[in-house]
Amino acid sequence: MNPLKILLIEDNPTLARQTGEFLQAHGWQIDFAHNGRLGQQLALEQVYDLVILDLGLPDIDGLEVCQRIKERAPVNMPVLMLTARDAFTDKAQGFESGTDDYLCKPFDPRELALRCKALTRRNRLYQSDRVCVGELTIHRRGHCAERAGQRLHLTAIGFRILTLLAEAHPEPLSRSAITHHIWGDDPPETDALKSHIYSLRQALDRPFPSAMLKTITSLGYQLEAPDADR
């Protein structure tokens, strides 16, 4: 399994630091949000393997944050709720809002790590091998794609960018979200994304009469299926 990219939304600075350090010791990348608004913003702008969400946040109730992430995030991201509320009704509300798992405080961080692995493994297991957008078909396991039955000659990074955009379709993805997902916190000094987008356009659009890869000014990129409504 590749290193996980996790968003931790927790307002308690001590617990956030301790939890983050434990998960980082597994080689995982952790982004932090100290309130619901920032957590929601990051979840909608970035692509994470998992969101760990405290239920008792100071500004927005965790149930509402979970529901918004599930409704608006560009890709499906598992949500693991952390909370001191252990009554059945509290857990039921959590699952009804869309959470995928529930862990009560205080918790053993080793159990949290195991649940993180299980949730991301389950999420990937139930992903279809194929992602289709109009006449574009991406084969995840084969790391290849075709448009209108014609094989596309993609670089490894080009394939990853195309898969991200297809999973987000019909929503756009920001340049920062794509860059962060491909290179993490150590992006190249040059504008490498621009170069990879150019190469992707050459493979995806140039041989065909209509373009699928669109630039969204001041935001990022989006896949469009020109024949979807015809």
Q: For the chain, how many structural domains are there in total?
A: 2
Let me know whether 20 and 77 are in one domain.
yes
Would you say the pTM of this structure is higher than 0.95? no
Supply the pLDDT for residue 127.
Answer: 58
pLDDT tens by residue, 11-25: 999 999 999 999 999
CB atoms under 10 Å from CB of 87, counted, come to: 8
pLDDT tens by residue, 80-117: 998 887 777 777 888 888 888 888 888 999 999 999 98
In CATH, what number is assigned to the domain containing residue 197?
1.10.10.10
Burial (Cβ within 10 Å: 0-12, 13-18, ≥19) of residue 85: middle
- Do residues 61 and 36 lie in contact, with contact meaning Cβ atoms separated by under 8 Å? yes
Which helix (H) or strand (E) segment is 13 a member of? helix 13-24
CA dihedral 32, 77, 83, 37 (to 10 degrees): 50
The predicted model gives 157-182 an average pLDDT of 86
In a domain, 62, yes or no: yes
Let me know whether 104 and 151 are in one domain.
no
Residue ending a domain, among 106, 125, 144, is 125
Residue ending a domain, among 76, 94, 125, is 125
- Do residues 52 and 7 lie in contact, with contact meaning Cβ atoms separated by under 8 Å? yes
In which domain, by residue range, is 135 found? 130-223
